[in-house]
Amino acid sequence: MPSDKYILKWGILATGGIAETFTRDLLVNPEYRGVNDIVHTVVAAASSSSADRAKQFLKKVGAAETAKAYGSYKELVVDKDVDIVYIATPHSHHYQNAMLCLEAGKNVLCEKAFTVNTAQTKLLVAKAKEKNLFLMEAVWTRYFPLSVYVRETITSGRLGKVHRTFADLSMAMDPEKTLPDTHRMVNPDLAGGALLDVGIYALTWVFQTLYHTQPADARKAPTVLSTLKKYHTGADVQTTMLLTFPRSDEAGGDAHGIATTSIRTAADPDGKGTAGPAIRVQGEKGEIQVFHPAFRPTRTKVILTDGTVEEKTFDFPGPPKETGWQNGFGELNPPGVAHGMYWEADECAYALKEGRKEGKYESLEESIVIMETMDEVRKQGGLKYPEKIETTDYPVDL
């Protein structure tokens, strides 16, 4: 392997579906996406159930034969060959798992939602700073070229002053028929519900267009008005949020973000985009639209008051389709089409290469503000999770 490339050695904590999707993307040659100075390698994986399951996982994703398989997370985090750990457990377990990694001196990329509540996130951030470690929430969508383009369209002034963003991620799951009460989407013991699992994507679009695009010294946390509908398990199945972002008169005054999420209704009912955009970012000179799904969009449209209409599509480059390589989550993408999780991994590599301790497209401070927003939504809706997953105590056996 060329010595002039920065090599980042990963440990994968948990071996479920999202871990598989991430790791298969991670092992795609970065040169296919125009990245020529870093390389990702998986040196270990851990399953909480058995080393055999971790071994099967490593084989399935195509990791090197030298990669080690562990039957506990504690073994993984003390492996000296691991530079960074990707945490792929349910969000109910993120705080305990991330603290385990940080205490062991490991850099961390932790799946979203970062934790169950703000207090947990703040303690992880404090621990990372205490240990001088890299810590990032795995909001993969922020690192897409499409997202970069949307933010640059805003900051360039092309839309004029931006006053409002609508963002929705809703999928009609018919939970009574398709989801057992133990499923992570509706199980309060796993911090289940629309808000933390899919609603965070609607919030991601509101925040990355109305908060992240502001100068750092002008970013202010929003006020929150919200309502939610509960499932018989106590988890939320539909949540609607109105956020007001304070801004100076020079910046156009307060901006409004409307974030909605549901597992009762669909943002894209026919799966063909007929229903229109899932995200609309509106300024004085026009708007930019982003089409469903909010977590992995491929298409945008700019519509300006001067009559300009500009559509773009974005690729997710993988190995040549002739190889038959496929990846996806839930269902497979066409051959040669990656899922897009490698861009957040690239950010981790560049950050560690450059000596940064957080992501450049979502700081730890912004992750905290988003967690505070979700805490407030839960407070207004009377949505509480079991104490064992809300606690800041560590360690707790879950």
Q: Residue 327 has what DSSP assignment?
A: -
Other Cβ atoms within 10 Å of 4 Cβ, number: 7
Beta strands in 277-353 (DSSP E): 279-283, 286-290, 299-304, 309-313, 328-329, 331-332
**What mean pLDDT is reported for the chain?**
97
CA angle centred on 71, ends 343 and 193, rounded to 5°: 55
Per-residue model confidence (pLDDT) at position 279: 98
Of 199, 160, 156, 168, residue with least CA distance to 282: 160
- pLDDT bracket for residue 2 (50, 70, 90): very low
Q: What is the pLDDT of residue 3?
A: 63
How would residue 86 be classed by pLDDT, with cut points 50, 70 and 90? very high
Torsion of CA 259, 262, 265, 269, to 10 degrees: 60
* Closest C-alpha to 77, from 107, 112, 37: 107
Is the pLDDT at 369 greater than 90? The verdict is yes
Alpha-carbon span 154 to 137, nearest angstrom = 23
Q: What is the mean pLDDT of residues 170-197?
A: 97
In this structure, what token pair is assigned to residue 29? 């040659």
Considering the entire predicted model, what is its pTM?
0.97
The pLDDT, as a whole number, for residue 219 is 97
Going by pLDDT thresholds of 50, 70 and 90, the confidence category of residue 1 is: very low
Residue 330: how many CB atoms within 10 A of its CB? 6
Q: How much is the pLDDT for 119?
A: 98
Percent of the chain with pLDDT over 70: 99
Mean pLDDT of 77-103: 98
